[in-house]
Amino acid sequence: MARDVDFWYRRGDLEEYVMKTREIIFEVTEASEGGYDARALGHSIFTQGDNWTDLKAMAREAVLCHFDGEDVPSVIGLHLVRDEVRQRLFG
């Protein structure tokens, strides 16, 4: 399976690989007002959670509402992305 991951990643079609493996990945960011915001890659699914545990439950519920029957992905991944401000070290 790792070979398939490398193949899809090299082609730049990570979203297509995810679709074929029945896996859905959420890109998670920290919300400015607290908690987390999550956006599913390749799908119109958005959700929020007050904490990490809440976000996992909300992501699962959002996926179950979005898909029907056998189309429900078997794996849900949450990928936390942090943007940090860069500082200039030298004048």
Please give the residue that has the higher pLDDT: either 7 or 90.
90
Task: Dig out the tokens for 16 from the structure.
Answer: 């297509």
Residue 55 near residue 35, CB atoms below 8 Å: yes
Task: Dig out the tokens for 52 from the structure.
Answer: 């990490």
Please give the residue that has the higher pLDDT: either 24 or 8.
24
- pLDDT confidence of residue 73: 86
Task: Dig out the tokens for 36 from the structure.
Answer: 């987390």
* Measured distance CA(48)–CA(56) in Å, rounded: 9
Confidence of residue 8 (pLDDT cuts 50, 70, 90): very low
Name the residue ranges covered by the structural domains of the chain: 22-91
- pLDDT confidence of residue 13: 59
How much of the chain exceeds pLDDT 90, in percent? Answer: 51
Please give the residue that has the higher pLDDT: either 15 or 57.
57
Q: For residue range 59-80, what is the model confidence (pLDDT) as tens digits? A: 999 999 998 877 788 899 999 9
Burial class from Cβ neighbours inside 10 Å (0-12, 13-18, 19+) for residue 3 reads exposed
pTM, two decimals, is 0.68
